């Protein structure tokens, strides 16, 4: 692929990245919602210590959201998603 064809993709990715970071509260809420959906629909993929860690991190994300600590919320949510992805082999 020519480098000039990549420029529009880079611009779009930059804009989307900025939009995702522009409103940390809605980003946090979206991550929590995604984790809750995973828990409802695919919770059986988690087992043992992974399940415990996933639930604890989801709880920490919600606590961060309630305390308006978006860094804690997003970090905990991201770690929970990583645990889920490992359990699913992604």
Picking from 24, 32, 88, the residue whose alpha carbon sits closest to that of residue 55 is 32
Is residue 7 pLDDT above 90, yes or no? no
Is residue 58 pLDDT above 60, yes or no? yes
Domain residue spans in the chain?
Answer: 24-88
pLDDT, tens digit, 9 for 90 and up, residues 20-57: 555 777 899 999 999 999 888 876 767 777 888 999 99
Coil, strand or helix: which one is 89?
coil
More confident site: 45 or 3: 45
Euclidean distance between CA atoms 61 and 73, whole angstroms: 4
Predicted confidence at residue 62, as pLDDT, reads: 95
């Amino acid at each position: 692929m020519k480098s000039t064809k990549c420029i529009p993709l880079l611009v779009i990715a930059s804009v989307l990245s900025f939009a995702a970071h522009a409103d940390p509260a809605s980003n946090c809420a979206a991550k929590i919602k995604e984790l809750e959906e995973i828990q409802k629909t695919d919770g059986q993929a988690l087992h043992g210590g992974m399940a415990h860690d996933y639930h604890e991190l989801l709880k920490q994300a919600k606590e961060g959201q309630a305390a308006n600590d978006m860094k804690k919320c997003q970090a905990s949510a991201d770690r929970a998603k990583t645990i889920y992805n490992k359990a699913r082999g992604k």
